[in-house]
Amino acid sequence: MSTQLKNLSDFSNTEIPSAAPYHFGIVVAEWNAAITNALYQGAYESLVAHGALPQNIFTYPVSGSFELISGADILLKNRKLDAVICLGCVIQGETRHFDFICNAVANGISNVAIKYSKPVIFGVLTTDNQQQAEDRAGGKHGNKGVEGAVTAIKMAYLAETLNS
C-alpha cells in the first residue's frame, strides 16, 4: 500500500502559494458522513490557513460520491471558481458496486476538469474498510482533505501562471 508509511498531510517538502487570490468550490458527499465531514474540515481549514478568504470558499453537499461529478459540473457552470475540490468516501463492500462507483467517479471528475479547463480535485477515499478511511480522514495517514486543498491551491496558481 502506497500510503502505509506516508502522511497525506505532510507538505514540508513543497512550497504552497497563497490561496488569497482564488475562489474555491468544495463538493462533499453526505454518504459516509463521519469520514467526509473530517475530509471537509481538513480541506476548509487548510484553504483558510493558506490565505483563502472564507467568503471565497463555496461549499455544497451532495448525496454520495457519484453525485460529486454533477455537483462539480453545476458549480463550475454557475460560479466563477479557480478550482473545485470533490470530497467523498467509498468503502469496499461485498458486491462489485464499489468498482463501478470508483471508476465512474474518477472518470467523471476528470471529464469535468477537461470540460471547463479548471482544476477539479479528486479527494475521494476508495478504501477496503472503515479503518482505512478513518486513517486517511485525520488519522495516522493524515487527511486527504488537506491534500485536496493544497492540490487545489497549487493547481489554481499553475493555471493563473500559465494563463497570464
CATH of the domain at 108: 3.40.50.960
What's the pLDDT at 10? 76
Overall domain count for the chain = 1
Say if 13 falls within a structural domain: no
17 domain residue, yes or no: no
Concerning whether 97 is annotated as a catalytic residue, the answer is yes
Q: What pTM did the predictor assign?
A: 0.93
pLDDT score, position 5: 57
Count of CB atoms situated within 10 Å of the CB of 12? 6
Answer yes or no: are the C-beta atoms of 42 and 138 closer than 8 Å. yes
138, part of any domain: yes
Catalytic residue among 23, 50, 97, 141: 97
Question: Which residues of the chain fall below pLDDT 50?
Answer: 1-2
Question: Is 14 inside any structural domain?
Answer: no
Q: Which domain holds residue 55?
A: 26-163
Q: Classify residue 147: in a domain, yes or no.
A: yes
- Residue 94 has a pLDDT of 76
In this prediction, residue 1 carries a pLDDT of: 42
Considering the domain boundaries, does residue 2 fall inside one? Answer: no
Q: Judge whether 53 lies within some domain.
A: yes
CB 137 within 8 A of CB 89: yes
- C-alpha cell, 139: 488519522
Q: Do the domain assignments include residue 6?
A: no
